[in-house]
Structure 1
Amino acid sequence: MKNNPYFKEVELNVNVASVNCLKMYQVMSL
């Protein structure tokens, strides 16, 4: 189940989204 490429793709997207949120948060707090 964990080796399913679909789940890897989702995990990657979640990581990218959280990084983007972090960047937005840093920009907003400037």
Structure 2
Amino acid sequence: MGEYCARAAEMKKIKEKITELHNGTIGVEDLY
């Protein structure tokens, strides 16, 4: 269960980064 929560939190972080990318607040290089 704890592993699932960690994975979900990671996905949430990735989704937020993608959203920021679409909003143009960060560059593609910030993803790596």
Which segments of 5 or more consecutive residues in structure 2 lack a partner in the other structure? Answer: 25-32
Unmatched tracts of structure 1, length 5 or more: 1-6
Q: Which has the larger radius of gyration?
A: 1
Aligned residues: 24
Using CA pairs under 8 Å that are at least 6 residues apart, name the structure with larger relative contact order, 1 or 2.
2
- Normalising by the residue count of structure 1, what TM-score does the alignment of the two structures yield? 0.77
Identity %: 8
| Off by >2 Å, runs of 4+ in structure 1 | none
